[in-house]
Amino acid sequence: MSILTIILLALLVILFFRVGLSILRFLISVGIIILCIYLGYQGVLWIMDYFNLSFNFIP
């Protein structure tokens, strides 16, 4: 193995590591956004159900 091949392999590994980290960071941020939207939706459903139950008890 020549020194040029070793340098090129090292640069390729560094490039894949950086791209992998950015993709992982993107997936984590998308997952957090989807989780927030889901929790907000569940909260709205819970509030609507709560007020629906309280309106039913009013004569």
Question: Residue 53 pLDDT more than 90?
Answer: no
Give domain status of residue 41, yes or no: yes
Question: Residue 6 pLDDT more than 70?
Answer: yes
pLDDT bracket for residue 1 (50, 70, 90): low
Give domain status of residue 10, yes or no: no
Give domain status of residue 48, yes or no: yes
Q: pTM of the full predicted structure?
A: 0.59
Give domain status of residue 18, yes or no: no
Give domain status of residue 57, yes or no: yes
Q: Write the pLDDT tens digit of every residue in 16-47.
A: 887 888 888 888 999 999 999 999 999 999 98
> Which residue type, as a one-letter code, is found at position 15?
L
Q: Which domain holds residue 46?
A: 25-59
Give domain status of residue 20, yes or no: no
Give domain status of residue 37, yes or no: yes
Q: How far is CA 59 from CA 15, 25, 50, 54, in A?
A: 69, 53, 17, 10
Give domain status of residue 53, yes or no: yes
Structural domains of the chain, count: 1
